[in-house]
């Protein structure tokens, strides 16, 4: 590793960005993107930019923690949830005393994942004519993402995966923007949370976890295999028995290597066979 790269890594560590957790190729590619945007000529040059321009650290952090998301991202997985998984969870809950469906969206970005699952749950629960309720705990490591997710304000391009019927039922249109309804917001608890920190097992508001569904979608690609295990263990430790883990389409292979997870092919949903 070159000395200049070590300087950058050390600088990032001082600013609480632990590069050793990241997938190496992903980190170098991200760094090179920023080097080319700033027109730096070398790592050394870029290190000097980091030292002299505080905004560049924010830019690098933004590029490292890519926040791209979509409503109903991975339509096949959402169809599986709608047609098979959620109806099955509802049938099981009807036989239980505790009738709350509990969901954790681990890296929610600006909330599109959390609102998508809230829409599905609201629709299916309303049709099922039962007293089942739901709560979604949605977390992210970036404060601005959580603040934006709480507001739930999206532009026209953001909502293009949402049917007109759902847009009319669950969003208010104001000045060409779409605002998620209070009905959805009241069931989602957004909070700042680092899924690789060993400080907390699950989001504080959820107290004990016991989740029926956990989304760890499009977050594993940032990190190396050691961190994948930390994230997966965290999810498995606070998931309910015979519950489901949902990952990103491109991350399915990582989960397939983990013991105790059964992929519901061809979706990106995994049944977790833990007996609690
Ligand atoms: C590409 S977005 C994925 C959003 C959504 N899950 C999806 O699949 O569309 C990845 C998000 O993971 C968040 N993230 C990265 N590392 C994290 C960590 N250690 N703890 C919590 N969130 C994290 C980033 O801030 C970013 O908002």
What is the mean pLDDT for each group of 10 consecutive residues in the chain (276 residues)? Answer: 84 92 94 95 94 94 93 96 96 90 98 98 94 97 96 97 97 97 98 93 92 97 94 94 94 87 94 76
166 Cβ contact partners less than 8 Å away, ≥ 6 residues apart: 119
What's the 68 CA to ligand 1 centre distance in angstroms?
A: 9
Q: Which atom of ligand 1 is nearest to the CA of 215?
A: 6
Where in 119-238 does DSSP place strands (E)?
Answer: 133-140, 153-155, 171-174, 177-180, 188-192, 211-216
Show the ligand 1 pocket: residues with CB < 6 angstroms: 65-70, 73, 107-109, 113, 139-142, 145, 193-196, 217-219, 222, 248
Q: Which atom of ligand 1 is nearest to the CA of 68?
A: 1
What's the 9 CA to ligand 1 centre distance in angstroms?
A: 21
Q: What is the reported pLDDT for 1? A: 60
Q: Indicate the pTM of the whole model.
A: 0.94
Q: What is the reported pLDDT for 275? A: 63
Region 75-272: CATH code: 3.40.50.150
Rounded distance, CA 221 to CA 157, Å? 25
Nearest to 40 by CA among 72, 15, 18, 8: 8
Does the CA dihedral 235-229-248-156 come out positive or negative?
positive
Q: What is the reported pLDDT for 143? A: 94
Q: Which atom of ligand 1 is nearest to the CA of 223?
A: 16
Nearest to 112 by CA among 165, 65, 170: 170
Question: What residue owns the CA closest to ligand 1's atom 3?
Answer: 218
Q: What is the reported pLDDT for 166? A: 98
Q: What is the reported pLDDT for 194? A: 95
Q: What is the reported pLDDT for 276? A: 58
Q: What is the reported pLDDT for 159? A: 98
In the chain, where are the structural domains located? 3-64, 75-272
Place of tokens 């019927």: 165
């Amino acid at each position: 590793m070159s000395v200049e790269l070590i300087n950058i890594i050390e600088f990032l560590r001082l600013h609480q960005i632990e590069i050793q957790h990241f997938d190496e190729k992903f980190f170098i590619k991200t760094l090179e993107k920023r080097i080319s945007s700033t027109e730096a000529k070398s790592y050394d040059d870029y290190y000097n930019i980091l030292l002299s321009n505080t905004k560049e650290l924010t830019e690098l952090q933004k590029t490292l923690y890519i926040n791209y998301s979509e409503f109903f991202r991975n339509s096949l997985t959402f169809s599986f949830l709608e047609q098979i998984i959620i109806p099955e969870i509802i049938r099981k809950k009807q036989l239980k005393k505790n009738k709350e469906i509990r969901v954790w969206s681990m890296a929610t970005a600006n909330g599109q994942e959390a609102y998508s699952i809230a829409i599905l749950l609201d629709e299916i629960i309303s049709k099922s004519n039962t007293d089942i309720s739901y709560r979604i705990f949605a977390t992210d490591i970036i404060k601005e993402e959580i603040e934006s997710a709480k507001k739930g304000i999206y532009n026209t391009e953001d909502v293009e995966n949402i049917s007109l019927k759902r847009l009319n039922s669950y969003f208010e249109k104001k000045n060409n923007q779409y605002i998620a309804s209070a009905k959805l917001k009241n069931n989602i608890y957004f909070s700042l949370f680092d899924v690789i920190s060993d400080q907390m097992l699950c989001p504080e508001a959820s107290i004990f976890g016991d989740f029926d569904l956990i989304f760890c979608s499009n977050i594993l690609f940032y990190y190396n295999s050691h961190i994948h295990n930390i994230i997966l263990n965290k999810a498995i430790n606070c998931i309910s028995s015979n519950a489901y883990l949902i990952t990103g389409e491109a991350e399915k292979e990582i989960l397939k290597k983990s013991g105790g997870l059964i992929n519901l092919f061809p979706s990106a949903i995994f049944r977790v066979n833990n007996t609690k």
